[in-house]
Amino acid sequence: MKCSTFLSTRDGHCYYRTTMFRSLPRARAFARCLQANPRFRAVSVKEATSGTGWHVIYQPSSQARYAELYYQQYRQRELKGAQTEGRCYRFELVTRGTDAYYLCQSVSKEVYDVTECSCSCPDWTYRGQKSGIPCKHIFAYHRAVAIQEIEALTSVRIRLQTARNALYAAALKTSFEQRCAARGLDINADF
């Protein structure tokens, strides 16, 4: 039986998924075999999204094997984001007050809001947040920062905050000078 692996949108955990069974009794029979085997756990039968059959999904009982599955899902996204298609993404900085994020245009022309630890894409929204595995756009952001193609958001935020602080300081100074002038005080005099 050939199996693929996937990250569940339901619980953010990694699973093996069998190829599709056309018959539900056969899928159930296979699931019972897996349930009887101590090497597997979390066995269940799920209807295929196409509605034309059933998959059996399950996890390895061994923690080491589970870690391999998890790393496989992590690595797939890292490869796409940091090494293959991520090189073609375009980033455009958006600032709002003292906060900032990037608009990331992927190869499929979809545009997502990306920061160093979040993304508005479905993979991050439905899987990444639950599993802790960054999506390919987040990996692409970190690559672009590492090669200095874009400015790190932490540094953008500090720059914005510094500029705002300077504005406040200037406004305070002006107001202080005006109040002194109203009382006939010379702020340049030696006190």
Helix, strand, or coil here: 93?
strand
CB distance 150 to 88 below 8 Å: no
- Give the pair of three-digit tokens for residue 69: 């599955």
Site for Zn ion contains 140 (CB under 5 A): no
Least distance (Å) between residue 7 CB and Zn ion: 13
Least distance (Å) between residue 183 CB and Zn ion: 58
Least distance (Å) between residue 5 CB and Zn ion: 19
Which of 55, 77, 127, 137 contacts Zn ion by CB under 5 A? 137
Which of 30, 124, 139, 141 contacts Zn ion by CB under 5 A? 124
E strands along the chain, which residues? 3-7, 14-18, 40-47, 54-60, 90-96, 99-105, 111-114
Site for Zn ion contains 135 (CB under 5 A): yes
How many CB atoms lie under 10 A from the CB of residue 118? Answer: 18
Nearer to Zn ion, 56 or 114 (CB): 114
* Residue of 96, 94, 97 lying closest to 105 (CA atoms): 94
Radius of gyration of the chain (CA): 27
Site string for Zn ion, 64-103 (x = CB under 5 A): ----------------------------------------
Q: Binding residues for Zn ion, how many (CB under 5 A)? A: 5
Nearer to Zn ion, 8 or 115 (CB): 115
Given strand 14-18, what is the order of strands in its sheet?
Answer: 3-7, 14-18, 54-60, 40-47
Least distance (Å) between residue 71 CB and Zn ion: 19
Site string for Zn ion, 101-120 (x = CB under 5 A): ------------------x-
Least distance (Å) between residue 94 CB and Zn ion: 16
| Cα of 98 vs its chain's centroid, Å | 21
Name the residues that contact Zn ion, by CB under 5 A: 119, 121, 124, 135, 137
